[in-house]
């Protein structure tokens, strides 16, 4: 019996960082974003969006998720598949209620110094999905 189906093989490249919960870890993530952007010829707009979103996600994981506990790690995964990059940022914290966040565009919140990170991420990534606990975010960018 002959199989007439053709299989299309698209290589999927995976990248992983295990980062200590300290602000200096952001540099390691930025280096990986630049490496991936160069390798896959990511446009400047998508590169800027990835850099902004992932900086914010990692910062949230370090500060809010892991409470800057250097014994806790933040795991960052990147999967490049065809013309998209899926990033996952996971911390060891208990998570948060991402459904009931204050609206940073509401008049009473406009002058607040914090509270815009998730709003920015949701608007700059092509897709943003949190796990049920709220300690992992998956960000998809079309390249």
The pTM (predicted TM-score) of the whole model is: 0.89
More confident residue, 66 or 101: 66
What is the rounded CA–CA span in Å between residue 128 and residue 67?
23
Look at phi and psi of residue 99 and say left if phi exceeds 0, alpha if psi is from -120 to 50, else beta. Answer: alpha
Q: What are phi and psi of 81, to 5 degrees?
A: -135, 105
Provide the 10 A C-beta neighbour count for residue 141: 22
Class of domain 14-142: alpha beta
Digit-coded pLDDT (tens) for 35-90: 999 999 999 999 999 999 999 999 999 999 999 999 999 999 999 998 999 999 99
Name the least confident of 12-16, 46-50, 98-102: 98-102
Domain spans, the chain: 14-142
Classified as helix, coil or strand, 77 is strand
């Amino acid at each position: 019996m002959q199989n007439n189906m053709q299989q299309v093989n698209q290589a999927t490249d995976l990248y992983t960082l295990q980062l200590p919960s300290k602000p200096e870890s952001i540099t390691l993530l930025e280096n990986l974003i630049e490496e991936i952007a160069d390798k896959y010829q990511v446009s400047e707009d998508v590169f800027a969006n990835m850099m902004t979103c992932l900086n914010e996600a990692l910062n949230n994981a370090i500060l809010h998720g892991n409470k800057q506990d250097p014994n806790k790690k933040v795991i960052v995964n990147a999967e490049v598949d065809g013309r998209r990059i899926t990033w996952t940022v996971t911390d060891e914290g208990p998570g948060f209620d991402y459904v009931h966040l204050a609206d940073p565009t509401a008049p009473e919140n406009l002058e607040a110094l914090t509270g815009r990170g998730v709003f920015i991420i949701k608007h700059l990534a092509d897709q943003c999905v949190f796990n049920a606990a709220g300690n992992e975010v998956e960000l998809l960018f079309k390249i």
